[in-house]
Amino acid sequence: MRVLPEFRHFKAMVFALLAANLILFHLFGTATQTLDTAAWLVLLVLFELETAGRVRLAGWRQPALRVARLCAGAAVLAAAVGYALETAWLDTVNAWLWLAVVVLLEAEVRFPLLVDRRRTAFVAATGVIYGALFVLVIVWAWRGDWLDAWDALLWLVAFFAIEMNVLGAERERNGYPVHP
């Protein structure tokens, strides 16, 4: 899949901002927020590698990828439960909505024929979840929780970049040019 250089630079900038975001949560957030941010960053990098189509993993690398994904996924779940135990309800809702996004993305990548058959429902579910995530950005900003609002908005942008990879792969799979 061909990727425009500008989009590659955009994604590199988003990943750099997410790394800076991790440092901010380490310095100013809770342990649960740091764990959550680190785990999501690992998952996003792994998903980017897979959906960008530039990396073909062979030999020991494929099982290593699975172990890394499993560990990061377990950390994300631990953080989601941690938010609930801390009664950080906005963080809890946010965490579970992002887990729903990952389920939808995984379905789109792993079961494209099933998703194609249910495209309208799939797009509607995706829109509702992303809409709810955007509402959380507004709520955090309204409350003056600027780090949380920034974090939530940055992750929406990051997943937009990943969605562009998925849609590009889908267009390529269906025989359409990715970029004219």
Question: What's the CA gap between 180 and 56, in Å, rounded?
Answer: 26
Give pTM, 2 decimals.
0.79
Give the model confidence (pLDDT) of 69-98 as tens digits. 899 999 999 999 999 999 999 999 999 999
Burial (CB < 10 A; 0-12, 13-18, 19+), residue 85, is exposed
- Supply the mean pLDDT for the chain: 84
What does the DSSP assignment read for 138-179?
HHHHHHT-HHHHHHHHHHHHHHHHHHHHHHHHHHHHTT--S-
**CA dist 84 to 75, 141, 144, Å?**
14, 21, 21
Q: pLDDT confidence of 31, banded at 50, 70, 90?
A: very high
| SS3 state of residue 1 | coil
- Pairwise pLDDT comparison (59 vs 114), residue with the higher score: 114
Least confident span in 4-8, 42-46, 92-96: 4-8
Q: Are 104 and 122 in contact (CB under 8 A)?
A: yes
Q: Which of 69, 71, 89, 72 is nearest to 136 (CA)?
A: 89
Buried b (16+ CB within 10 A) or exposed e, 27-41: eebeebbbbbbbbbb
